[in-house]
Structure 1
Amino acid sequence: MSNRRARVSRITEDEINDLILKLQALLPDSSSRSHNSMVSASKIVKETCNYLKKLHKEVDDLSERLSQLLASGAITSTNADAISSLLRQ
């Protein structure tokens, strides 16, 4: 039974290649690359991980800056409500 499950749950090489191409398309520098250029799957995964780390850092930095602005009173309560509403979406 477990052998049957292993065969059913295996992902094909074509599916992996398709997923790698989709990941590559999400990366900001991918538009400058030709779709025909050969880039290793491991490089795409590494670039994706680095890009996600960069995005997380940007979110953290923006959250910290927003907290500072809210704490300093530089943002009015009306603006704070609008920002809170946007963040909840």
Structure 2
Amino acid sequence: MAGLFWQAVPRDEWPDDAESQAAILAQFHGPFGDCRQELVFIGQQLDQAALRQQLQDAPGKDDFIADLALQQRPGAAATAG
């Protein structure tokens, strides 16, 4: 189903059949479940290897991801600030 993060849907509202549940869970990774953003770059003569390397080397990327993970912990909103 497009436009929906199953991570945000209570389990009792998920489809009942095992096949659908398995398909949903197959998309879950780490603390964010199936929530993710995807970037799409379109262009002629695009240097894919260089672009991938620049994204991997982006400064602050790891700190940003770690901060997001901390925000997802239970009670994080109560202790933030």
**TM-score, normalised relative to structure 2:** 0.26
Larger radius of gyration: 1
Q: Does 1 or 2 have the higher relative contact order (CA < 8 Å, sep 6+)? A: 2
Q: Going by fraction, where is helix more abundant, 1 or 2?
A: 1
**TM-score, normalised relative to structure 1:** 0.25
